[in-house]
Chains A and B, each alone.
Chain A
Amino acid sequence: MADTLLDVSGISAGTEDKPILHDVNLKVGAGETHVLMGPNGAGKSTLGHVIMGDPTYKVTSGTITFDGQDITELSPDKRSLAGVFLSYQAPVEVPGVPLYSFLRSISQMRPELKCTAREFRRRVGAIADELNLDQSFLMRELNVGFSGGEKKKIEMLQLLLLQPKLAILDETDSGLDVDALATVSHGIQRYRETVGGALIMITHNTRILERLTVDRTHVMVKGHLVAEGPASLIDDIDKNGFERFESQAAGEGDAR
């Protein structure tokens, strides 16, 4: 295994009144691709949000170490600047904020990405082309009125622009048509090739994984990580579903 980039150690977390994650342990090495699977409501998205630092969820025990730094108490912006990226299932619309200037400002916040306006225009233009994204989108308001597929492309655009060390893609492939799926899939490939960052793919769709070399697969049921295995585990789940994991986790408490 490569050097550990992310070490989720004994994390329990939930909302004010409801525990969701129970003693979750997850290690991701630099540049590795992990897949997180599980039935609906298992807590997969919650784990993604907890790694990002979403204040909706309170961590009751455990630590999260990223790139050698304990980030358990850090706010999402500090985690982002440290190199964590979360692509959302439903990216929010922010009226009145032009996409291009937003991209420019989040890029300028990172010393390693600082560049001239001209160089930035070139960089964003190249990524947009890569994602079959018409340049006119860059002049529109952030995600406002974008289709589901367009929003996911904008997430990929930010992923390729910000070059994080770790990208958590929360069902980035869900609800996309074939063309959009191909584009998003291409974006993920480009991230792996050009940035070499680690990936945690939260997904139900094994098709998007076909073109990726998966290092580890994790199965989450009712807030517990109940199984971990090689890429072949995906095929197993594809054929047999989550049933055997669910019976294994029965009685371990409800989770979302």
Chain B
Amino acid sequence: MTKERTQVADVDRSLYDFTKSEEGYERYADGLTPDIVRAISAKKDEPQWMLDLRLKALDEYHRRPMATNWGPSIAGLDLDHISTYVSPKTKQASSWDDVPADIKDTFERLGIPEAERESLAGVGAQYDSEIVYHNMREEVAKQGVVYTTIEDALHDPKWEPVVHEYFGTLIPMTDHKFAALHYAVWSGGSFVYVPAGVSLDYPLQSYFRLNAQGAGQFEHTLIIVEPGANLHFIEGCSAPKYYEANLHAGAVELFVKDGARLRYSTIENWSKNMYNLNTKRATVGADAKMEWVSGSFGSHVSYLYPTTILAGDRSSCEFTGITFSGATQDLDTGCKVILNGRDTTASVSTKSISKDGGINTFRSSVVVGRHADNARCTVSCQSLMLDNISRSDTIPAMDVRNPTASVGHEATIGRISDDTILYLMSRGCSEQEARTLVVNGFANPVSKELPMEYAVEMNNLIKLEMEGAIG
């Protein structure tokens, strides 16, 4: 009887790994100068305040040193050679027929138009730096829901003041160096406004595709869910593999007003040359609820800690996340919760899987403010390591300033037991099927939270990651 263990070959990423020519695209010079920032702003014909904000952010970016004392190394990221703006030669379309054939083909292969027809209330599709497609069902628009790009909102006299009021207030440009970079060169993303009391039956989805080599994607997502409203927003991301580093430094600002509910789901599958330095933050009003579902599969290096500020009394949040780290991946993920309101509750449940030398670090920060009487927070983190060369760390931090608060943390790190593999194999599963079954089961609490087709995509991603030759 052979005792050899699964050998896993390079993952077949052909589903995501195709590139399209950049010929004829508008690509700005590499590096970061005021001229480039002015050029991006001029191209977008922005209000003066936005240009001023960009230039201030650029100063902020240059002023700040690169943090080198924590987290995965980003030494491979040479910002002087990352192109911050690459625009496909096309105008934004509201019909897929008006999207250039090669770009349309890309999104079709990713299944976006099909999902739109079947189960979405609206779709935005970003290709490199610009949104190439945006559309929303008419009945949703009739309810007063706005789903557009920030650029378009800035050109609408009704929405420009709203963007001005909210943009950059939840994630300040001084947050960290890459937040500053984001504000200097942001492009694309989504603006969503759900009026008070409106509840969307279907999710909205934005898909971000970075095709250009050695480029950055800096989309900004701004979502305002007014009192009593209800929205599910889905974000998907992928990129083909290049040998040069790519950078993703997006920002997501979510405003969930009193009594509202927002669910924000992400399936991120960037290619393994991507530095994913993304910032996401939500502020939640009284009796409101924020739900995060986050699947991180791709990228070479990730720093990702979606933050929830439970500002209103009785507000709550749930964070459900999974991170899968394979060969060459160093993923530092987790979340932050700040409980400021009274009787607030937060529940964090994360899973991580590491394999083939992949590194997973789970970092959580729970802060309970002085006035947060009876705040409740539980953090649970489960890690699964599939071999002896992978690594998994858990770094929880808690800062509790109210004596009536209750905060709990539990973490487990484990491997797949030989007994489990034997059990499943003795019922007919091959060793690889047995391992995939266990890993999918481990991920099940997360995939259960996803809409059906995304749960299927996630299971497929796990299957792809687990596939390989048995030694």
- Which A residues fall within an 8 A CB radius of B? 52-59, 72-77, 79-81, 84-86, 88, 91-92, 94-97, 102, 105-106, 109-110, 141-142, 158, 162
Given contacts A56-B418, A75-B431, contact A97 B423 (CB under 8 A): no
Distance of A58 Cα from B3 Cα, bound (Å): 9
Number of A-B contacts (CB under 8 A): 86
A94 x B417 contact (CB < 8 A): no
A52 x B442 contact (CB < 8 A): no
B418 x A80 contact (CB < 8 A): no
Instruction: Collect the chain B residues with CB atoms within 8 Å of residue A84's CB.
Output: 426
The answer to whether the Cβ of B90 comes within 8 Å of any Cβ in the partner chain is: no
B424 x A94 contact (CB < 8 A): yes
Distance of A57 Cα from B422 Cα, bound (Å): 12
Given contacts A95-B441, A95-B442, A96-B443, contact A80 B2 (CB under 8 A): no
Instruction: Collect the chain B residues with CB atoms within 8 Å of residue A109's CB.
Output: 428-429
Instruction: Collect the chain B residues with CB atoms within 8 Å of residue A77's CB.
Output: 425-426, 428-431, 433-434
Q: Interface 1/0s, chain B 427-441, versus A by CB < 8 A?
A: 111110110011011
Given contacts A97-B437, A97-B440, contact A75 B423 (CB under 8 A): no
Q: Could you list some 12 contacts between A and B, CB below 8 A?
A: A53-B425, A54-B1, A55-B2, A56-B422, A72-B1, A75-B431, A76-B422, A76-B426, A81-B428, A96-B443, A97-B444, A110-B428
Chain B CB count within 10 A is highest, among A55, A74, A85, A106, for: A55
Q: Give 8 new A-B contacts, CB below 8 A, not counting A80-B428, A94-B424, A158-B427.
A: A55-B3, A59-B1, A72-B1, A77-B425, A94-B441, A96-B441, A96-B444, A97-B438
The answer to whether the Cβ of B460 comes within 8 Å of any Cβ in the partner chain is: no
Instruction: Collect the chain A residues with CB atoms within 8 Å of residue B443's CB.
Output: 96
Distance of A59 Cα from B2 Cα, bound (Å): 11
A76 x B418 contact (CB < 8 A): no
Distance of A67 Cα from B354 Cα, bound (Å): 41
A94 x B428 contact (CB < 8 A): no
CB closest chain-B residue, reference A93: B420
Q: Interface 1/0s, chain B 153-176, versus A by CB < 8 A?
A: 000000000000000000000000
A53 x B417 contact (CB < 8 A): no
Chain A CB count within 10 A is highest, among B420, B424, B433, B445, for: B424
A88 x B431 contact (CB < 8 A): no
Instruction: Collect the chain A residues with CB atoms within 8 Å of residue B23's CB.
Output: none
The answer to whether the Cβ of B419 comes within 8 Å of any Cβ in the partner chain is: yes
| Cross-interface CB contact of A75 among B425, B437, B438, cutoff 8 Å | B425
3 tightest Cβ-Cβ pairs between the two chains A and B: A96-B441, A96-B444, A97-B441
Given contacts A95-B441, A96-B445, contact A73 B428 (CB under 8 A): no
B440 x A96 contact (CB < 8 A): yes
Chain A CB count within 10 A is highest, among B418, B427, B429, B440, for: B427
Q: Interface 1/0s, chain B 393-431, versus A by CB < 8 A?
A: 000000000000000000000000111101111111111
Distance of A102 Cα from B441 Cα, bound (Å): 11
- Which B residues fall within an 8 A CB radius of A? 1-3, 417-420, 422-431, 433-434, 437-438, 440-445
Q: How far is the CB of B442 from chain A (nearest CB, A)?
A: 6
B437 x A53 contact (CB < 8 A): no
Chain A CB count within 10 A is highest, among B418, B419, B440, B443, for: B419
A55 x B422 contact (CB < 8 A): yes
Instruction: Collect the chain A residues with CB atoms within 8 Å of residue B3's CB.
Output: 55
Distance of A174 Cα from B274 Cα, bound (Å): 55
Given contacts A96-B442, A96-B445, A141-B441, contact A75 B427 (CB under 8 A): no
Instruction: Collect the chain A residues with CB atoms within 8 Å of residue B1's CB.
Output: 53-55, 57-59, 72-75
Instruction: Collect the chain B residues with CB atoms within 8 Å of residue A94's CB.
Output: 420, 423-424, 437-438, 441
CB closest chain-B residue, reference A16: B3
A106 x B429 contact (CB < 8 A): yes
Q: How far is the CB of A14 from chain B (nearest CB, A)?
A: 13
A106 x B440 contact (CB < 8 A): no
Instruction: Collect the chain A residues with CB atoms within 8 Å of residue B420's CB.
Output: 92, 94
Distance of A79 Cα from B429 Cα, bound (Å): 11
CB closest chain-B residue, reference A142: B441
A106 x B427 contact (CB < 8 A): yes
Distance of A106 Cα from B3 Cα, bound (Å): 23
CB closest chain-A residue, reference B418: A56
Distance of A85 Cα from B426 Cα, bound (Å): 7
Given contacts A55-B1, A92-B419, contact A79 B441 (CB under 8 A): no
Instruction: Collect the chain B residues with CB atoms within 8 Å of residue A97's CB.
Output: 437-438, 440-441, 444
Distance of A244 Cα from B434 Cα, bound (Å): 44
Given contacts A55-B2, A106-B429, contact A92 B423 (CB under 8 A): yes
Distance of A97 Cα from B420 Cα, bound (Å): 12
CB closest chain-A residue, reference B432: A77
A80 x B437 contact (CB < 8 A): no
CB closest chain-B residue, reference A59: B1
CB closest chain-A residue, reference B429: A77
Distance of A72 Cα from B426 Cα, bound (Å): 15
Instruction: Collect the chain B residues with CB atoms within 8 Å of residue A58's CB.
Output: 1
B441 x A162 contact (CB < 8 A): no
Chain A CB count within 10 A is highest, among B418, B424, B425, B428, for: B428
Distance of A96 Cα from B420 Cα, bound (Å): 13
B422 x A54 contact (CB < 8 A): yes
Q: How far is the CB of A15 from chain B (nearest CB, A)?
A: 12
Instruction: Collect the chain B residues with CB atoms within 8 Å of residue A158's CB.
Output: 427
Distance of A112 Cα from B183 Cα, bound (Å): 62
Distance of A105 Cα from B443 Cα, bound (Å): 18
Instruction: Collect the chain A residues with CB atoms within 8 Å of residue B430's CB.
Output: 75, 77
Distance of A92 Cα from B428 Cα, bound (Å): 15
Distance of A55 Cα from B418 Cα, bound (Å): 9
Distance of A91 Cα from B427 Cα, bound (Å): 12
Distance of A141 Cα from B417 Cα, bound (Å): 17
Q: How far is the CB of B427 from chain A (nearest CB, A)?
A: 5
Instruction: Collect the chain B residues with CB atoms within 8 Å of residue A76's CB.
Output: 422, 425-426
